[in-house]
Structure 1
Amino acid sequence: MKIGIIREGKNPPDKRAPFSPDQLKTLRDSYGSALSFLVESSPDRCFSDEEYQNSGIEVTQDISQADILFGVKEVPVDRLIAGKTYFFFSHTIKKQFYNKKLLRAILDKNIRLIDYEVLKDEEGERVVAFGRWAGIVGAYNAFWTYGKKTALYDIKRASECRDLAELKLELKKVQLPPIKIVVTGAGRVGKGIKEILEVLSIPEVETHEFLHLYFEEPVYTVLSSSDYNRRKVDGGYDREEFYSHPEKYESHFLKFAEAGEMLIAGAYWNPDAPRLFRVEDINSPDFALSVIADVTCDMGGSIPTTLRTSTILDPVYDVDRENGAEIPAFGSQTSISVMAIDNLPCELPRESSVEFGRQLEQWVIPALLEENASILEKATIARDGDLTLEFMYLMDFVYAEDGN
């Protein structure tokens, strides 16, 4: 079996890689003739072509000899190779309109698409993700944004830090007034966010304390879905019902937006679930949030002030409270500053890639050598020109007229 590592084709290019040179060398040595590897040459990858070559891995301009192709982000339609098996984050399972053409091309080209996002263990937990790193960098960027907005301190960009150790050292420069910080998300992303908050020694408080008490130091609270969602008919909450029928619920988040000054959003969002607030709400004098770090970065998702994704080169834009329109970053004292980078782990690409590669080594490589491995079958979105049974719900979406 020949495995290829593709060159990332999105613009700006993603620097991450599914495997480091050392990991490919270890896999080759461990599996012998059962596996061989090719790496498509890239000037942008965090590991250089030379590093792969020095590990004994072939680097090529033509990746078409490989049977199975691993990438990170979506593959441009014109670079898809017909009939191949691909692993990457397709961002299609929530019917993301901007990737409709990608999914259609995958079907037209008889590609087998296995999406990292739906690789799960027997308990239904994701096994391959960059979530921790998105949380770490997203939270760091929240405090970078706050420093720029208030001019209270100045720290490097995460992408300017050599590694996680330097990033954490940089946080020692942060000087915060007694602000209240709202955090959503308790999974990998949430754990990454908390990692940064712990470096800053910011204490966590219960939600009722957050809402009703004054503190002489900065504090944060982590919200679960039950804290800000209520059943429409009677104001109740049932966890199982909320996750299976989120459309029956409405948001009760505003009280947290009125108490907190910063929101770091890391919770998974179902398109049928209520948004945290309405864009009209931000014009209320009681709406206190001034910095929103949308780590989830779902366009049209839970955060209505996420008007577009931002980039590592241009990480923040402001939203005018009066009309909800985008204005230049830090262009107004009263506007809301939004950080919505959609490839946050790319700011620490080497370390995040190594951790991701470890997960692939543990879960995916052994499964590739099994016949019809369940974990891969369940994560297959498309094969032989058709959507698989689990993802048939995408049929109307992918073949709908292009009006989004």
Structure 2
Amino acid sequence: MKKIGIIKEGKIPIDRRVPLTPFQAKQVKETFDVEVLVQSSDIRCFSDDDYRNAGLEIVESVSDCDIILGVKEVPIEMLSENKTHFFFSHTIKKQDYNRELLRAILNKNINLIDWETLTNENGNRIIAFGRWAGIVGAYNGIWTYGKRYNLFNLKRAHECFDYEELKKELKKIDLPNIKIALTGGGRVTKGAMEVLLGADIRQVTPHAFITENFNEPVFTQLNSRDYNKRKDGAEFHRNEFYKNPELYEGDFLKYAKVTDILIACAFWDPAAPVLFRREDIVKDDFDIRVIADITCDIEGSIPSTKKPSTIDDPIYDYNPSDDEVEQALIDEGNITVMAVDNLPCELPRDASESFGSELVNNVLPHLLGTDENGIIERATITKAGTLTPAYNYLQDYVDGK
């Protein structure tokens, strides 16, 4: 009988999420006829007793399990040799800070499967926390605006027991007639829209957003075609934009002139146009004063995102005149930035339940079955001490080149 282990999260700052809730772990044990062991942890959003009460065994180590499930990067000293590890490794973009982690995974003959690389035949991800990043990010954006202008007092998202309590907080929001621009169209954006609509903020079209005035707060959702245009003036084509973004230039400033809060949810390719530049911010007609950058691409498409913020210290100010980060809320000429890079951690119970459901339904049948569609195979980064063919491009990264 195969053993599946749920590892204690070891990364600092701590992450309280889990890959499977107690109920889901019990469900996996019964449905797939496997043993599920849970490493003792004092930081999870579900306690050891919650798992015990669901009939799961609590252990001090999961190193003897065949498959080990986690959320964030596993510290090198917690990796188990010759086992299969699942976690967000943050290595596939050659992130410098995890080079040693990938080297250790190879040296320990670990099969690494990254949650981010699990996709269906069409290349769409089948498991993610994106919706919860959008929900918390949009909420934090409104919270930030309320703080900046002393409009209302909301609980922080992480102070809410769950999403239901956060929804109650939304009813306290009383915004003036501001305009909120939301970029993107995927899971993150849909999560953000849930919050805006839950706060009774009306959605309007991009055209109405820039041409009309409203006597209530409104938001608009912008897709790539709304804020990018062909350099030669030809028609926008989405597939072409993603394949050849260098043919396009940014066209976002028409929105920046009327936007009060920007909630950035769109994936950004470094080859694509940026949303705006520092030189644009210092112009008199640039109206954005609060940016909730859920994507958190440091010095990427949004120049004010100079660093990530944290759950404990979620906002900072960006001084565009000097291109510097400053203490939050000290100068009205600054832009206030919310760039927490682990947003789903603020609602760990709901985020874990949603993630676990996708794990049970979309991943485990292939992992513990025949994998006829190659879902596990495509997502496997390392196997038996080597990079798999699809991830050979990481070899120079491993080699330190």
Structure-to-structure mapping, 1:88-167, within 5 angstroms: 88-167=87-166
Query: Distance between the aligned counterparts of 1:253 and 1:102, measured in 2?
Result: 38
Query: Distance between the aligned counterparts of 1:4 and 1:341, measured in 2?
Result: 29
Give the Å deviation of 1:127. Answer: 1.1
Q: What TM-score results when the alignment is normalised by the length of structure 2?
A: 0.95
Match of 2:193 in 1: 194
Match of 2:7 in 1: 6
Structure-to-structure mapping, 1:181-330, within 5 angstroms: 181-234=180-233, 236-330=235-329
Native 8 Å contact 1:7 1:71 kept in 2: yes
Native 8 Å contact 1:94 1:271 kept in 2: no
Q: Quickly say closer, same or farther: Cα 1:19–1:391, change in 2 above 3 A.
A: same
- Superimposed CA distance per residue, residues 120-168 of structure 1 (whole angstroms, 9 cap, x where no aligned partner): 1233221101111111111111111000000011111011112211111
Match of 1:382 in 2: 382
Q: Quickly say closer, same or farther: Cα 1:53–1:387, change in 2 above 3 A.
A: same
Native 8 Å contact 2:304 2:320 kept in 1: no
Q: Quickly say closer, same or farther: Cα 1:384–1:234, change in 2 above 3 A.
A: farther
Query: Distance between the aligned counterparts of 1:103 and 1:273, measured in 2?
Result: 28
Q: What SS is found at the alignment partner of 2:203?
A: coil
* Structure 1 stretch displaced more, 223-232 or 63-72: 223-232
Native 8 Å contact 1:317 1:329 kept in 2: yes
Q: Quickly say closer, same or farther: Cα 1:348–1:104, change in 2 above 3 A.
A: same
Give the Å deviation of 1:234. Answer: 4.2
Give the Å deviation of 1:7. Answer: 1.1
Query: Distance between the aligned counterparts of 2:73 and 2:270, measured in 1?
Result: 20
The runs of 5 or more residues in structure 2 that have no matched partner are: none
Tell me the amino acid that sits aligned with residue 220 of structure 1. Answer: F
Q: Quickly say closer, same or farther: Cα 1:71–1:142, change in 2 above 3 A.
A: same
The runs of 5 or more residues in structure 1 that have no matched partner are: none
* Structure 1 stretch displaced more, 296-305 or 358-367: 296-305
Tell me the amino acid that sits aligned with residue 357 of structure 1. Answer: G
Q: What SS is found at the alignment partner of 1:138?
A: helix
What fraction of aligned residue pairs are identical, expressed as a percent? 53
Native 8 Å contact 1:280 1:324 kept in 2: no
Number of residue-to-residue matches in the alignment: 399
* Structure 1 stretch displaced more, 391-400 or 202-211: 391-400
User: Quick check: 1:19 aligned with 2:17?
Assistant: no
Match of 1:394 in 2: 394
User: Quick check: 1:82 aligned with 2:81?
Assistant: yes
Native 8 Å contact 2:139 2:195 kept in 1: yes
Query: Distance between the aligned counterparts of 1:155 and 1:236, measured in 2?
Result: 44
Give the Å deviation of 1:26. Answer: 1.7
Tell me the amino acid that sits aligned with residue 15 of structure 1. Answer: R
Match of 1:48 in 2: 47
